[in-house]
Amino acid sequence: MPKPRSSGRALRALVLAVGCLLPSLGSRAAAPLDAPGFTPRFAGYHALVNATVVPAPGIEIPRATLVISNGLIASLQSDGPVPAGARAWDYAGLTVYAGFVEPYVAQSLAVAAAPLASGDPATDQRPLADEDLGPRFFGVPGQERDAGSPGPGAFTRRVTPELRVATLYTPTPKTLESLQELGFTAAHIVPSDGLIRGQSAVVSLGAASPNRAVLRADLAQCVGFDPGPTDGTVPAPYPGSLMGAVAVFRQTFLDAAHHAATKAYASGHPEAGLSPPFNAAWDALRAVTAGQTVLFDAGSVLMMHRAAQLARELGLNHTAFLATGQEWRRPDLLAAIGGPFILPLAHPALPKIAQAADWEDVSLDQLRAWDWAPETAALLERAALPFALSTHGLTERQEFRKNLAASLERGLSRSNALRALTLTPAQLTGLADRLGTVEPGKLAHLTVVAGDYFNPTSRVHAVWVEGVPHELPRPRRESPVPSQTATNATTQTTSTNLPPFPRPALARVARAPLDLRGPLQRPAAVLVRHATIWTCGPAGVLTNASLLIRQGRIEAVGTEPADAADGALIVEGNGLHLTPGLIDCHSHSAILGSVNEGTIPSSAMVRIEDVINSESPEMLRQLAGGLTVANLLHGSANPIGGQNAVIKLREGAPPDGLRLPGAPAGIKFALGENVKQANWGDRQTTRFPQTRMGVPTFFANRFTAAQRYRQALQARQTDPSLPPLRRDLELEALAEILEGRRLIHCHSYRQDEIVVFLRTMESFGVRVATLQHVLEGYKVADEIARHGAGASTFSDWWAFKMEVIDAIPYAGSLMRERGVTVSFNSDSSDHARRLNTEAAKAVKYGGTTEAEALRFVTLNPARQLGIDARVGSLERGKDGDFAVWSGHPLDTRSLCLQTWIEGHQYFERAAQETRTQALREEHTALLAKARNARTGGTAEPSAAARARFFQRAWESASHLGVVDCQDCVLQRRP
Amino acid sequence: MNPCLPPCHLAVGLAIGVLLAVPTVTPATTLLIRDATVHTVSGPVLNSASVLVRDGRIAAVGDLGQPAAEEIVDGRGLHVYPGLVALTTTLGLTEVEAVRATRDTTEVGAFRPDVFAWVAVNPDSELIPVARANGITHAQTVPLGGILSGHSAVLQLAGWTVEELAFRRLGALHVFWPSFDLDHTPKEKAPAPDRWKSVEDQERDRDQRLAALDSLFAEAEAYQAARGNHPPPVLPGTATQRPAAGAIPAWEAMVPVIRGECPVFLHADGIREIRSALAWAARRKLRAVLAGGRDAWRIAEELAAQKVPVAYEHVFTLPPREQDGYDVQFRAPAVLAQAGVPVSFASGLDRFAASNVRHLPYEAAQAVAFGLSADEAVRGLTLNPARALGLDDRLGSLEPGKDATFFLCSGDLLDLRARVLRLWIEGRETSLESRHTRLYERYRQRPVPASP
């Protein structure tokens, strides 16, 4: 009913002041009169009587009289009178809750793709959206796969912050009804496509016109991290990886800020003659700067955590998060994320698996996800974090109530469940003053249930939306419930006297993953004695020696008999060998999503640190091979790859806890077949460079751009009156290289490309930190040594592609003889488990001494990574990182018994077996539970719910080995 | 049959690279290795023992006193091992994996009994000398693709021509057990919705593939019954015989398998596939060898009872299940051996495996670190694979009457640091040079360049 909001406020004041005195008369006089032929308007004056009203969680008013007038709640009283003129509704036996608010309904605002260019480089010079910015490295004009926003906007059509649900909201009766049936009276409609998706709106779920339905426009700017195209475009447009999606997010917000600053500058300095271009995307993001909420659909708990950090970096103060239901993986991070959370109750269901044998291959991770899902709400409740419950992800929305019941069985309290349906989503949507409780003055949004909502068999009888009742059709086969005309008050059920739930509570069998991870021992001090110690430092190999570590640092190492320091844990090393923790200078383990942002030739803006997968099982396997430090690198799909991250394998720690503080920043570069797309199939032939001729050309171009960028930065330091400079994340990383603040780790094979690359970088005054792989490095070892680059190579891989046909296993020894600092890396989640025997190959091929060979996987990689002040050798003052071996560390028949990082024991063989045993028992118990549940006669789950069983979280998707390769591009591209 | 290489061959260098791959030198008719640690494999390790070779065969092993011999090799401080036999490789069929023109590993079609690996082996493959240099003297070369991919050959890694390399042309028939994995991706999320199949349809397909395989063998049995035992099957490349009228090449190729003259390698890794393959092999009474065998440790007792040898390819692949432990595949050979399963080590058929066949002894060594006895480990590199191929009358151990195919090693083979020093195949000393040694010699002699 049209009525100015101000009169509603006046009404509220009236009600509060004098109670209920025919409050509708005044507004009825002002109501418009419909023309003859229209059904006359209803008065909108109602009294619900004899209902049990739950005005807010934990409060219950029996036999209540609830008066509604003009869409607002006028009064609420136990046994109150029915005002004259109000239409009375006998709600005996019914429970009335504040109208539920659905916090997340996805709506596609898909923008038609801008037509791609003709592809003829000779003629195609069509301007594109945001043509001056964004990564324009596609090689030759017309090769873009994403022409950007169809009108003025961002460089990719997946960045559309200017889109508004409020202008495009078109509810379908089916959606409305399916939400009403669950008791929802309002919903937060959220754009669902792309990276920066647009602005959401809160709507009433009534039948009113879209104009009236919108309660609040532009509530939140919605951000997702879905990598890659959704339409199978080949070649894929940027960004094509999770880390690329994060980079686009950061750059876009920086660009918006820059745009605003430039506009301000232009108006303050008319003499500068600046005319900042019109850009709807950036203009829309000014709302965020002004306090609009940013709602992240981050896709996983680790990425939610990262999103929260990025939001702080960018100064985004109001955030909300779409949870995944897999927060059990890392509940310790939830407090740091903070919320509020929107938790979809889209639980996975057990799939139909015909053959018993097929169950044996159902993974522990899948079973855990299934068993944990109903407990996610309780997890958030225990952490005292705000959350709202959603039907998002449920193709069959009626499963919501079943899943809600399951959540209650698994520890969600009823009052928090109600809060999560009412007050919290009302607060989250900024409508707490109008929704969320049954209070005079609030909108008459009510959810009316025949009984207790939390019993899934209790039917939602009606929802009231802004004072308009929507009675819901009764399913045919349902037993009769008290109708609104029934007066038998004795049939009332109250929420304190529940019928039993239709299925037995199934307690959780799955463990919290963190229970079986993390350090085994954390002594303040540890003393290893009577061991053979390979120091890898100047002291060489010490027999019958001791190592004392206190507070994580090496206090003493030597053959002097060491006394057990007070309280130190003693490790008897009789017959055992000790080495520094091994260091892998080239790893792709423990990365979320693709290791390549291979869509563009320079992806210097992407960072591995955004996507460290602390949950990877690779970490344990590698610890069990004595590894303690890994250099996580971007792949080699492009000449300039992404920024690396050096981690310690502190299994169990979250991503931040893995990073090695003080490790110099670095970046991956690459040469040769991969960057010229030689093995990518016949369709990938248009990106620059396509030959080894073009590779140095590309570097020279980007470093020249970086030099200019630096000059522009410096100019602003000396002259602050210059117009603001756009912060360019790609050039920023390259400028850091020019300033000596970022190390280059360059994938390389052939001798010609190696020498030319070194010369190219010398021309920019840059020393290359490491040449990675560098399989023909032995042919130009003198040139490499003179340049001062390290060589981080494979021990003996060869012949897997044309450019490695001349690789030889003697290369490590030969380069070392010529004065190059050599390391052996893994580039493989397998080899990373046994770098000690990789090192032994330098002894076998080329006769490197044993002590020196061991340095190939300890001190030398530490030097190459600039972390040798802390790790790489067992010397006083360095980190207490070491591995204990059953015998000579270069003997294939020896095995690693213990691995320690900073004086904490992270691996010990017997203890690991105990943990493994526990995992085995858990898996068996979960399979048994699944078997019982399948024969338990519960309702058939939907196909969609069963399909969810096979959905993998980001954290576990990389378990599937997709990033495990010797040479990532080669294997990832069939 | 082959000329002695000039001693200056190293200096000739890469210019005649192909010639340098010539593998053998003229054999002495008698050869004595003396005072070495002799790993007989079939018997105990003999310290300070000798091996006497006559006409390409082992004449005697043990404490032989001072027999006369044309060539005497002082083996003091050194170890003698029988040549290593590498099962399931693609050696000779592939050169540079990323370059399609150099790959002859994979034919099209689901059932192809009449595809034979030996005919496509490149005798001058650079990969062969590299494998040989680490003690590999024989390799089974396997055709890939489809379910029944054809016949592997056993190569002797020395010879001028493909016929000389083909030690056994019909090594085994290869069946790659159809995967039991079902794809549960819902149709709306399938990458190729037009090819999406329901789980039920996939199960049906799975059953149908197995039925088709079984049916093929039933048909082959009928063919064999109809043709009788004579004449022997005529297979490609055997030009001395002509096929009988009415012979059909594909069914002729099945004849040796049906007669039990040729083992069937069942390639299966998952426990479901392994169980299914074993049950089938038992029912069809095949001479089965389980290849791959990732999960074989889970049914080690059954394998032992069924006397099925395993070519274990997964020491160095990543375990698929967390709850099995980080080291499950390091321990698997020990578990199998303990149960009495003859385990061989195999580096597998993955894309880059052919260039790394030389890693074979390291897989055995890793298994030793995780509980396998050293004797069993060496057996898994020699006698067990020879037996799996039915070649233990000639290969796999140092016993009188067997081929004089062995090598001298600077130390224990299971310690990676040990080097293969000299190697003989059928009594002929064979070069240990390779592309690697040639490039090494060439570039270590590069003078230090003048400053630019």
Q: How far is A811 from chain B (nearest CA, A)?
A: 8
> Which residues of chain A have a CB within 8 Å of the CB of B417?
840, 843-844, 890-891
Q: Residue B414: its pLDDT value, please?
A: 97
What span, in angstroms and rounded, lies between the C-alpha atoms of B368 and B379? 12
| pTM greater than the 0.90 cutoff | yes
Q: ω before A617 within 30° of 0 (cis)? A: no
Q: How far is B76 from chain A (nearest CA, A)?
A: 20
A974 to chain B: closest CA residue: B98
Q: How far is A590 from chain B (nearest CA, A)?
A: 14
Q: Do the chains contact at B351 and A964, CB–CB below 8 Å?
A: no
Mutation target vs A (from B198, B313, B322, B375; most A CBs, 10 A cutoff): B322
What span, in angstroms and rounded, lies between the C-alpha atoms of A863 and A743? 12
Map tokens 């909201």 to a residue: A169
Q: Do the chains contact at A357 and B271, CB–CB below 8 Å?
A: yes
A358 closest CB neighbour out of B180, B318, B365: B180
A517 SS3 class: coil
Q: Do the chains contact at B325 and A786, CB–CB below 8 Å?
A: no
B357 to chain A: closest CA residue: A797
Q: How confident is the model at residue B14 (pLDDT cuts 50, 70, 90)?
A: very low
In residues, how long is chain A?
Answer: 974
CA distances, A875 to each of A549, A578, A625 (Å): 10, 13, 21
Q: Do the chains contact at B96 and A919, CB–CB below 8 Å?
A: no
Class at the top of the CATH hierarchy for domain A525-581+872-917: mainly beta
> Which residues of chain B have a CB within 8 Å of the CB of A837?
362, 416
Q: Residue B27: its pLDDT value, please?
A: 58
Instruction: Please give the distance of CA A881 from its chain centroid, rounded to a whole number.
Output: 30
Q: Do the chains contact at B355 and A800, CB–CB below 8 Å?
A: yes
Of A188, A179, A103, A204, nearest to A460 (Cα)? A179
Q: Do the chains contact at A920 and B324, CB–CB below 8 Å?
A: yes
Q: Do the chains contact at A617 and B99, CB–CB below 8 Å?
A: no
Q: Residue A13: its pLDDT value, please?
A: 39
Domains, in order of start, for chain B: 9-83+412-444 (2.30.40.10), 84-176+249-393 (3.20.20.140)
Judge contact between B51 and B80, C-beta under 8 A.
Answer: yes
Contacts of B187 (CB under 8 A, 6+ apart): B193, B196
- CA geometry: angle at A850 spanning A845 and A855, to 5°? 100
Mutation target vs A (from B134, B184, B419; most A CBs, 10 A cutoff): B184
A892 closest CB neighbour out of B322, B369, B436: B369
Q: Residue B187: its pLDDT value, please?
A: 81
Q: Residue B244: its pLDDT value, please?
A: 75
CA distances, B231 to each of A788, B168, B261 (Å): 71, 20, 15
Q: Residue A10: its pLDDT value, please?
A: 40
Q: How far is B232 from chain A (nearest CA, A)?
A: 40
Of A652, A969, A648, nearest to A803 (Cα)? A969
Q: Residue A935: its pLDDT value, please?
A: 60
Q: How far is A395 from chain B (nearest CA, A)?
A: 12
Q: Residue A231: its pLDDT value, please?
A: 53
A755 to chain B: closest CA residue: B452
A802 to chain B: closest CA residue: B96
Of B279, B298, B297, nearest to B288 (Cα)? B279
Contacts of A357 (CB under 8 A, 6+ apart): B180, B271, B272, B275
Sign of CA dihedral A734, A735, A737, A738: positive
Q: Residue A20: its pLDDT value, please?
A: 42
ipTM for the complex shown:
0.93
Question: Does residue B225 surpass a pLDDT of 70?
Answer: yes
B314 to chain A: closest CA residue: A830
CA distances, B420 to each of B61, B86, B383 (Å): 20, 16, 19
A844 closest CB neighbour out of B320, B356, B416: B416
Q: Do the chains contact at A893 and B415, CB–CB below 8 Å?
A: yes
Q: How far is B376 from chain A (nearest CA, A)?
A: 14
- Sites in chain A below the pLDDT cut of 70: 1-31, 111-145, 147, 228-235, 354, 475-505, 562, 564-565, 934-939, 958-974
Q: Residue A334: its pLDDT value, please?
A: 97
> Which residues of chain B have a CB within 8 Å of the CB of A797?
352, 355-356
Q: Residue A827: its pLDDT value, please?
A: 94
Q: Do the chains contact at A779 and B443, CB–CB below 8 Å?
A: yes
A778 to chain B: closest CA residue: B443
Q: Residue A475: its pLDDT value, please?
A: 64
Q: Residue B200: its pLDDT value, please?
A: 87
pLDDT digits (tens, 9 = 90+) for B240-299: 667 777 889 999 999 999 999 999 999 999 999 999 999 999 999 999 999 999 999 999
The two beta strands, B288-292 and B264-268, are parallel
A907 to chain B: closest CA residue: B326
Question: Does residue B12 surpass a pLDDT of 80?
Answer: no
